[in-house]
Amino acid sequence: MSLGKINHGTILVAVLSALALLGGCSKSESPPADEHGHGEAQAEHEEFERGPHGGRMLEDGDFAIELAIFESGVPPEFRAWATRGGKPLEPSQVQFAVALERFGGVTQRIEFAPQQDFLRSTSEVSEPHSFAVAVDATSGGAAHRWQYESFEGRTQIAAAMAKEAGVVIETAGPRTIDDVLPLYGVIATNPESVRAVSARYPGAIRSVVKSLGDVVKRGDVLATIESNESLQTYSVTAPIGGVITNRHANPGEVADNDPLFVITDLSNVTADLSVFARDLARVRLGQRARIRSVDGNVASEGRVIYVSSAGAGANQALIVRVKLDNPERRWTPGVYVNAELLVGGKEVPVAVRADALQRFRDWRVVFQNEGDFYQAQPVEIGRSDGEWVEISSGLAAGVAYAAHNSFLIKADIEKSGASHDH
C-alpha cells in the first residue's frame, strides 16, 4: 500500500471523528480496575470489590481469595490471601493456581507456594498485564473456580476503518538490518546527463530558436546555420531532452567547433557526498543511500554509481556519487544534503518496521494485531538502520503487527482509558 497516495490531513480528521464515536465504528474494550496498582479508570459495569491489600476479591460462599499483582521492588508477581468466613486461612491449607490467556491465545499457567501469610506465585507475571484469567483453588476438600478479564493496552477497531486510516498490517520476521554511515554533500548535475551541442559544419548562424533556461525535447530545433562549404542552411537539434544551461550562439555569429548550447537533463541528478579515507573501505558501488535535504522537506533514495580514488578540497575528503531519480524536479543542483549510506548488515531473526514502534507508558511497544483487535506488546530492540528495527525480545516471528500509522492505535487506546500510569 502506498501511503503517499493518502491525504494525511483527511485521514486524521476522519480518524479523530471516528474515535469520538467509539460506540460505532471503533470500540475499545473497557478494562477492569488494575489490581496491581496501575490505577486505571474502569467502566462502571466492570467494577469489582477490592480487598485490604488492594487486590481483586473472588468469593464462593464463605470461601474467598484476594488476588493482587505485587511489583514493589520485585519483578511483577501474584500474591493471594485466602479467608473462610472472613477469617484468614493458613496458606498451606490452600492449593492455588492461575491460568492467563494472553493475546493470540497464548496461555501461561502460574503456580503458587506458601510464604508467610499469603500464597506467592513461583514465576514472574510478565508485561503487559492484559489477559483473561482463570483461577482454581482447593481448600478443605472443596474446589473453587473463577474467571474474569483484565485487559490493558488493548483496543478494538473495525478493520475497514483501520484500513481507511492507513493502518497497514505486516508480519514480524527475519530481516537484514544494514549498518548506516552518515555523510553530507551537495546535489549536482549528473555528468552522464549533460550534452554539449556544436555545429556539424562551420558557418554563419542564421537564427537561434531556444534561449537559456528553456526546456527542450529531443529533436527540437535550437538554431539554423548556413554551411560555409555548401551554402545550404541546416538545423542544429537537441540530442536529449532537458534544460538549456548554457548558450553561446547568436544570429550573425560564426559557428565553429565550440559548443553552441549545453543541455542538462535534470530528470536525474546526483548527490555528491564527502567520505573520509578511514571510511572508504566500507563503501561499495551499488550500495543504497538515503538522501534528505538539510531542512528535511525533500527525501529520496538512490545507489552509489561512483567512488573517487583521490581526496579533494581542504579536508581531502573523497567523493561518493549517488544517482537520484528526479522526475518532478524536486532536487535542485547546489542544494546541501544529509545522507545515510547503507554499508553492510546482519540478518536478525525478528524485525519490524521502525514506524511500528511507539512509546506506551514507560515501554517501547509494537501493537500486535488479530482481526479487529490490537494489543500493546512491550519489546526490547537491537540494531536499526532507520527503516527496520531488530526485536531482541517481546515479539516472535510470524506475529502480525501494525506497521504503519500505529500512532492511531495508541491514540485510540489512550482515548479509551486503556492506557495507565504504571
- CATH number of the domain that 301 lies in? 2.40.30.170
CATH of the domain at 370: 2.40.420.20
Instruction: Give me the mean pLDDT over the 281-289 stretch.
Output: 92
The domain of 109 spans 30-150
Task: Provide CB contacts within 8 A for 243, sequence distance 6+.
Answer: 213, 214, 215, 216, 263, 264, 265, 266
13 belongs to a structural domain: no
Instruction: Give me the mean pLDDT over the 224-252 stretch.
Output: 96
Higher pLDDT, 204 or 314: 204
The share of the chain scoring above pLDDT 70, in percent, equals 86
* Per-residue confidence (pLDDT) for residue 45, from 0 to 100: 38
Instruction: Give me the mean pLDDT over the 164-191 stretch.
Output: 95
Residues 239 and 354 in one domain: no
Residues 85 and 137 in one domain: yes
Residues 352 and 393 in one domain: yes
Q: Cell digits for 126? A: 510478565
Report the predicted TM-score, pTM, of the whole model to 2 decimal places.
0.68
CATH of the domain at 214: 2.40.50.100
* Per-residue confidence (pLDDT) for residue 417, from 0 to 100: 63
Task: Provide CB contacts within 8 A for 296, sequence distance 6+.
Answer: none
22 belongs to a structural domain: no
Residues 185 and 226 in one domain: no
Residues 138 and 37 in one domain: yes
SS3 assignment for the chain: CCHHHCCHHHHHHHHHHHHCCCCCCEECCCCCCCCCCCCCCCCHHHCCCECCCCCEEEEECCEEEEEEEECCCCCCEEEEEEEECCEECCHHHEEEEEEEECCCCCEEEEEEEEECCEEEECCCCCCCCCEEEEEEEEECCEEEEEEEEECCCEEEECHHHHHHCCCEEEECEEEEEEEEEEEEEEEEECHHHEEEECCCCCEEEEEECCCCCCEECCCCEEEEEEECCCCCEEEEECCCCEEEEEECCCCCCEECCCCCEEEECCCEEEEEEEECHHHHHHCCCCCEEEEEECCCCCEEEEEEEEECCCCECCCCEEEEEEEEECCCCCCCCCCEEEEEEEEEEEEEEEEEEHHHCEEECCEEEEEEEECCEEEEEECEEEEECCCEEEEEECCCCCCEEEEECCHHHHHHHHHHCCCCCC
* Per-residue confidence (pLDDT) for residue 17, from 0 to 100: 45
Render pLDDT for 323-350 as a digit per residue (tens, 0 to 9): 999 999 999 999 999 999 999 889 999 9
* Per-residue confidence (pLDDT) for residue 278, from 0 to 100: 87
Q: How confident is the model at residue 48 (pLDDT cuts 50, 70, 90)?
A: confident
Structural domains in the chain (count): 4
Residues 239 and 291 in one domain: no
* Per-residue confidence (pLDDT) for residue 421, from 0 to 100: 40
* Per-residue confidence (pLDDT) for residue 397, from 0 to 100: 96
Q: How confident is the model at residue 299 (pLDDT cuts 50, 70, 90)?
A: very high
Instruction: Give me the mean pLDDT over the 75-104 stretch.
Output: 96
Choosing from 322, 345, 368, the residue where a domain stops is 345
Q: Are 216 and 222 in contact (CB under 8 A)?
A: yes
First to last CA, the chain: 36
11 belongs to a structural domain: no
* Per-residue confidence (pLDDT) for residue 310, from 0 to 100: 66
* Per-residue confidence (pLDDT) for residue 39, from 0 to 100: 37
The share of the chain scoring above pLDDT 90, in percent, equals 79
The answer, yes or no, to whether residue 44 has pLDDT greater than 60, is no
Higher pLDDT, 31 or 278: 278
Choosing from 345, 366, 394, the residue where a domain stops is 345
The answer, yes or no, to whether residue 153 has pLDDT greater than 60, is yes
Residues 111 and 56 in one domain: yes
Residues 313 and 185 in one domain: yes
pLDDT mean across residues, the chain: 87
* Lowest pLDDT segment from 22-26, 124-128, 202-206, 219-223: 22-26
Residues 225 and 108 in one domain: no
421 belongs to a structural domain: no
The answer, yes or no, to whether residue 8 has pLDDT greater than 50, is no
15 belongs to a structural domain: no
Tally the residues of the chain.
Answer: 422
314 belongs to a structural domain: yes
The answer, yes or no, to whether residue 15 has pLDDT greater than 80, is no
Residues 369 and 385 in one domain: yes
274 belongs to a structural domain: yes
* Per-residue confidence (pLDDT) for residue 313, from 0 to 100: 52
Give dist(CA 180, CA 178) in Å, integer: 6
* Per-residue confidence (pLDDT) for residue 46, from 0 to 100: 53
Residues 35 and 134 in one domain: yes
Residues 105 and 165 in one domain: no
359 belongs to a structural domain: yes
Choosing from 345, 370, 401, the residue where a domain stops is 345
